[in-house]
Chains A and B, each alone.
Chain A
């Protein structure tokens, strides 16, 4: 069971790059790392997913070192609307089996002008 640890909160100014790190020392071979964003009174929303090295999409990048014991979500040039809680999820969904999904404690990002 991959337990995850994230910073409780982070502050940033608009236009800056924000990096949020998640530690998952017990990650299993089949586990993927997924990041979600959650606004108040809403369900989480998928941001990005990766297995190793670097993944980039239109909103974020995900950096995963070779040992996969941590991962870093990078948000380029944040805006006020990026103020939210960000969750790291480690787990694997395999046909015929299932593993307990572990969400991190979440990082509350506050972006100000």
Chain B
């Protein structure tokens, strides 16, 4: 595709529910990243996938957060038992192996009521 796409663009959920956020990276990009951006704040690294290597999960804030990347392409970020503090914009990015230039998607705005 032309760029990184994310879905849904907006998600409103109730506290305690599970949510799944999807990221479609640029075709051919082997590295994929998830970030979280709270209102008016900077980007918080969550998780990084590169090829077939084990993902770097060091940024996940709790065990309620998990992510997978199927077939080296599409990735899903899952948040279980959502809390109000999970409300934020979740950004996905991808890059070519060996390059550090990341291409970001438009983000998913998650609101937990």
Q: What residues make up the interface of A, taking CB atoms closer than 8 Å to B?
A: 32, 34, 36, 41-46, 49, 87, 91-93, 95-106
The answer to whether B50 touches A103, judged by C-beta atoms less than 8 angstroms apart, is: no
Q: How many A-B residue pairs have CB under 8 A?
A: 65
Query: Quick check: B106 and A43 within 8 Å, CB to CB?
Result: yes
Q: How far is the CA of A95 from the CA of B100 in the complex (A)?
A: 12
Q: Say which residue of A34, A36, A98, A103 sits within 8 Å of B56 (CB atoms).
A: A98
Cβ distance B64 to chain A, nearest Cβ, rounded Å: 19
Inter-chain contact A43/B93, CB cutoff 8 Å:
yes
Q: How far is the CA of A46 from the CA of B78 in the complex (A)?
A: 27
In the assembly, what is the distance between CA of A105 and CA of B37, in Å?
11
Q: Is the CB of B45 within 8 A of A43?
A: no
With known contacts A43-B91, A43-B93, A101-B33, A93–B98 Cβ distance under 8 A:
yes
Known: A103-B42, A105-B42. 5 other contacts (CB 8 A): A42-B104, A43-B107, A93-B48, A100-B45, A100-B58
In the bound assembly, the distance between CA atoms of A62 and B48 in angstroms comes to 26
Residues on B with beta carbons closer than 8 Å to the beta carbon of A32: 100
Whether the Cβ atoms of B53 and A96 lie closer than 8 Å is yes
- Shortest distance in angstroms between A91's beta carbon and chain B's nearest beta carbon? 7
Contact status A100-B59, CB under 8 Å:
yes
Instruction: Point out the residues of chain B lying under 8 angstroms from A92, CB to CB.
Output: 100
Interface residues of B (CB under 8 A from A): 4, 31, 33, 35, 42-45, 48, 50, 53, 55-56, 58-59, 91, 93, 95, 97-107
**What A residues does B4 contact at CB under 8 A?**
43
3 interchain residue pairs of minimum CB distance: A43-B104, A98-B56, A103-B43
Residues of A within 8 A of B104 (CB): 42-45
| Least distance between B89 CB and chain A CB atoms (Å) | 9
Contact A106 B101, beta carbon cutoff 8 Å: no
**What separation, in Å, do the CA atoms of A96 and B55 have in the docked complex?**
10
The 22 sampled A-B contact pairs (Cβ below 8 Å) are A32-B100, A34-B100, A34-B101, A34-B102, A36-B102, A42-B107, A43-B4, A43-B93, A43-B104, A46-B103, A49-B100, A49-B101, A93-B50, A93-B95, A95-B98, A98-B55, A98-B56, A99-B56, A100-B58, A102-B45, A103-B45, A106-B42
